[in-house]
Amino acid sequence: MSAAVRQPNAFVAAPLAGEAGIGGSLDVRGDFPILARTFEGRRLAYLDSGATSQKPAVVIETMSRHYREHNANVHRGVYALAQEADAAYHEARRRVAEFVGWDAKTTIFTKNVTEAINLVAYAWGRHNVSAGDAVLTTQMEHHANIVPWQRLCRETGAQLRYLEVDQRGELSLEQLDAELARGDVKLVAFAHVSNVLGTIVPVAAMTERVRAAGALSLVDGAQAVPHMPVDAAALGADFYAWTGHKTCGPTGIGVLHGRAEILEEMEPFLTGGDMIASVSFEGATWNELPYKFEAGTPPIAEAVGLGAAVNYLSGLGMKRVRAHERELTAYMLERLSEVPGLAYVGPPEAGTRGGIVSFTIEGMHPHDVAELANRGGACIRAGHHCAQPLMQRLGVGATARASLGVYSDREDVDALIDALLAGREVFGLDG
């Protein structure tokens, strides 16, 4: 591979080197009530955190307490209860922004990452992208970071181009340079961590090049923020999106961070209540940031829950979370290699990937693999993982995917391996 491809690894390895003295093992399973469940007497081995994370008791209880004690609508009430709700919502935004090193004022609550990306595609894209321009994304994106750009480009006559994924499951900075040199790229949208390959993308090296070319960058951090320290400002992204439910928080809340100058210039996405400064029968003026982009009653209890979730994760320390998951990823890769006929996609070293491993087993369809894993209590996903173009690129119809969370441990991985080996017997693959 070329030097340009190696560079990402060096970049990724650097901050991890400082973790050498940090204990690689967390034991927080007891913080997550659902993990006490058993299925037909078997311990729950939840290995689908890439789809959604489980929730610690502190998140569940904080949301419950909000509804029991502090519930009122925000931004309007003068009574004491409404002020409590306002304060809780405000504090949640402050914590969520701080968690990834961003300003609260330019931290917008959305429904999820999909809505965050659609917000940018509509509110920024429709006014800044036109025929003759290009939007650049990559072959490893989730549908959420492809379809909004396809639609934008179809509507504006702009061109959508894709950075290729190589055999290691990585992108090439040389190809990015070549694409940017064409001079027509307005925005580059890419994932921080691939939801299929697990690849950790060298975000800072990418955004630096994008900025130098006069384009904007949008980073989908859905699979990064829950699993490693992220300083979105230091990474140099113009937009950075992530979601609550993968980050030990509730569903129904996502986060979009945007650079202030860009957000100020943008038109609103959805319009209606809460996002206006004044309304007459003739027209309206827009509220200040971040409220300009939060039309209607926001997900208040969800914001409070997400605030509790990032507090919980900060308490564990994201460096420790990453060290724990990195060590467990190495263990999972090692144990998976014991299963005959198993092949996985993405980088082979735990140091350059997140805790997501997609794999196939010769002679068994991924759907059957997931079914047989379930018999050992192991919850894994099978399918295209909302990344059909990547599946085409990999030349597979589907894969099975095991993904780790902060609460995952070796016993979870062992349960999966035992179930896969037993599954091979069911399919008569060992005789």
Chain residues in the site for another protein (CB under 8 A): 364-368, 371, 382-384, 388, 391, 397-398, 425-428
Concerning whether 153 is annotated as a catalytic residue, the answer is no
Q: Which residues of 249-274 are buried (b: 16+ CB within 10 A; e: fewer)?
A: bbbbbbbbbbbeebbeebebbbeeeb
User: Whole-number minimum distance, CB 83 to another protein, in Å?
Assistant: 47
Report d(CA 271, CA 276) in Å as an integer.
8
Return the number of the residue (191 or 398) whose C-beta is nearest another protein.
398
Output 63 or 146, the one with its CB closest to another protein. Answer: 146
β-pair type (45-46, 239-243): unpaired
Cross-strand pairs, 353: 199
Q: How far is the CB of 367 from another protein (least distance, A)?
A: 4
In terms of CB distance, is 303 or 382 closer to another protein? 382
Say which residues have a Cβ less than 8 Å from residue 18's Cβ, sequence separation at least 6: 319
User: Toward another protein, which CB reaches closer, 27 or 40?
Assistant: 40
> Which is closer to another protein, CB of 180 or CB of 364?
364
User: What is d(CA 69, CA 269) in angstroms, rounded to the nearest whole number?
Assistant: 32
Q: Give min distance, CB of 210 to another protein, in A.
A: 32
Q: Kindly write down the DSSP assignment for every residue of 187-252, as one continuous string.
A: EEEEESB-TTT-BBP-HHHHHHHHHHTT-EEEEE-TTTTTTS---TTTTT-SEEEEESTTTTS-SS
The C-alpha atoms of residue 3 and residue 386 are separated, in whole angstroms, by 31
d(CA 233, CA 124): 20
Kindly state the smallest distance separating residue 418's Cβ from another protein, in Å: 15
Element (H, E) at 365: none
- 223 within 8 A of 354, measured Cβ to Cβ: yes
Residue type, 180: L
325: Cβ–Cβ under 8 A, 6 or more apart, which residues? 227, 228, 354, 355, 404, 405, 406, 408
* Least distance between another protein and beta carbon 317 (Å): 37
- Least distance to another protein, CB of residue 421, Å: 14
In the complex, the smallest distance separating the C-beta of residue 41 from another protein, rounded to whole angstroms, is 17
For 23, phi then psi, to 5°, come to -55, 130
Nearer to another protein, 34 or 422 (CB): 422
Identify which of residues 308 and 390 has a Cβ nearer to another protein in the complex.
390
Q: Which of 153, 248, 379, 386 is catalytic?
A: 386
Closest CA relative to residue 225, chosen from 253, 262, 263, 264: 253
Contact criterion met (CB below 8 Å) for 209 and 215: no
The catalytic residues are 386
